[in-house]
Chains A and B, each alone.
Chain A
Amino acid sequence: MDRHFDEELQNVKRKIVDMAAMVEESITKSLDALKNKDLKMADEIQELDHKTDRLEITIEDMCIELIARHQPVGRDLRFLIGTIKMNNDLERMGDHSVNIADCIKYVIEAPAIGQVMNIWAMAKIVKEMVRESVQSFIDNDAARAQKVCERDSIVDGLRNETIRTLLTHMLEEPEKIESAIQYMLVAKNLERIADLSTNICEDVIYIAQARVIKHHAENEKS
């Protein structure tokens, strides 16, 4: 029997996928803008952030209403709880892309800095992690989500390398301290986006299999 409630759950899913598409666009634009030192694009990213903020409220409202009116259980309950958390994570990712865009104006004004290749390597992996986390949610694919979680440590490693490289620049060329600080902030924001992708994947695994993998909860149980 097709239930009206199932249609409503699908509506929520469609909205969260829209939200994820906006956030992905915002992250890609912020990194492109940083690479091309394009200040104009920063305004577009700000506008996208307003849209995701509004959508976050809409999705949260839909989930609360469905929980209140349908008393969901089992997978339906896990889907709605997971969606509320994912919604929040996506909104935070949008904020981090705004933070990245905010760095552009300082990078333009400060002397150029070389050897920040690790940032772009990080950016590539982080964008893939975001895309894969969203896709694992769409497909309800716990195995795919698990693989995304495993990539988080690669991003952490690249962040550490980036910071070490930037510290060297700061010591050797003090006039580039301002630029180096901005790139450190970019690295920090990218690393947080990767963490949030991991959070989403943990929620996908929870929704699909009712397993809690965050904070190594399963290891502690066993």
Chain B
Amino acid sequence: MIIRTANLNLYYHKFQALTNVNMAIKRNLITGIIGPSGCGKSTLLRVFNRMNELIDGVRITGSVLIDDEDIYSPMHDLILLRKRVGMVFQRPNAFPLSIFDNIAYGPRVWNISDKKTLREIVERSLRAVDLFDDLSSRLNDSALALSAEKQQRLCIARLLAVEPEILLMDEPCSALDPIATGKIEELMIGLKKKYTIIIVTHNMQQAARIADDVGFMLLGELVEFDTAKRIFTNPRDKRTFDYISGRFG
């Protein structure tokens, strides 16, 4: 087990966005969070690297443990947490820098300045997302000139450069066409050997295809959390069945 939440509640001022969420996310698996818009799935994802704290009026009760450490403890190092738990967003957000500098950005923040080391990190990270062979001769080109799919791969490589353990992915394919989506999905399946991945997706079929475990959320509640096989062949809760079978949502 890598992440465990217990009686997790989250409020935006008076609005309760998450209600009593209890879940255990296993290491080296892909965990998919599904549910209709506004059900709290992105909010839940942002709990795991404390991104919600950037929003005014957020209050959290309950606990979130990563490797048995309470990440909401005042003693917990937030910078280290964000290094350990990286995030990929809906739209690829490559920096307006070269491909090389995008990847080297994180390591430089962590005071790695040796050129040889940086080159090694850039190569290793680009290889992990199957971009190195394609881009090795134009590492100094602007990252913004890449296709959306390659930019998204680059963003994943940028995370890997700081050696995280957990990758949070918030609708990582929603800006991509089906072929690019397929490629990113295959990449995720390959990456889970080394990383724990949590993906929020509107695309239920995507969760069905790639996730090992799936959580279904509704109105801030984690209605059901189980293996993808169980959720998509024999869900326990009628609300889950109604959602996955397209009866609502």
Contact = CB atoms under 8 A, between A and B. Distances in A.
Q: Are A and B genuine complex partners?
A: yes
Question: Which range contains the number of A residues in contact with the other chain?
Answer: 10 to 19
B189 A4 contact: yes
Question: A1, A2, A4, A71: which has the most chain B beta carbons within 10 Å?
Answer: A4
A148 B229 CA distance: 37
B208 interface: yes
Interface residue tally of chain B, by bracket? 10 to 19
A35 interface: no
Contacts of A65: 229, 232-233
A60 to B, nearest CB: 12
A120 interface: no
B233 A1 contact: no
A4 B186 contact: yes
Contacts of B182: 1, 3
Contacts of B228: 69
Contacts of A2: 186
Contacts of B210: 4
Nearest to B208: A69
A18 to B, nearest CB: 21
A154 interface: no
A171 interface: no
A33 to B, nearest CB: 40
Interface in B180-211: 182-183, 185-186, 189, 205, 208-210
Contacts of B189: 4
B127 to A, nearest CB: 17
Contacts of A5: 209
B232 A68 contact: yes
Interface in A156-210: none
A70 B204 CA distance: 11
Given A65-B233, A69-B208, 6 more contacts: A1-B183, A3-B182, A3-B186, A64-B233, A69-B229, A69-B232
In order of increasing CB-CB distance, the 7 nearest A-B pairs are A69-B208, A68-B232, A68-B233, A4-B189, A65-B229, A69-B232, A70-B209
Interface of B: 179, 182-183, 185-186, 189, 205, 208-210, 228-229, 232-233
Interface of A: 1-5, 64-65, 68-71
15 contacts: A1-B179, A1-B183, A2-B186, A3-B182, A3-B186, A64-B233, A65-B229, A65-B232, A68-B208, A68-B229, A68-B232, A68-B233, A69-B209, A69-B228, A70-B208
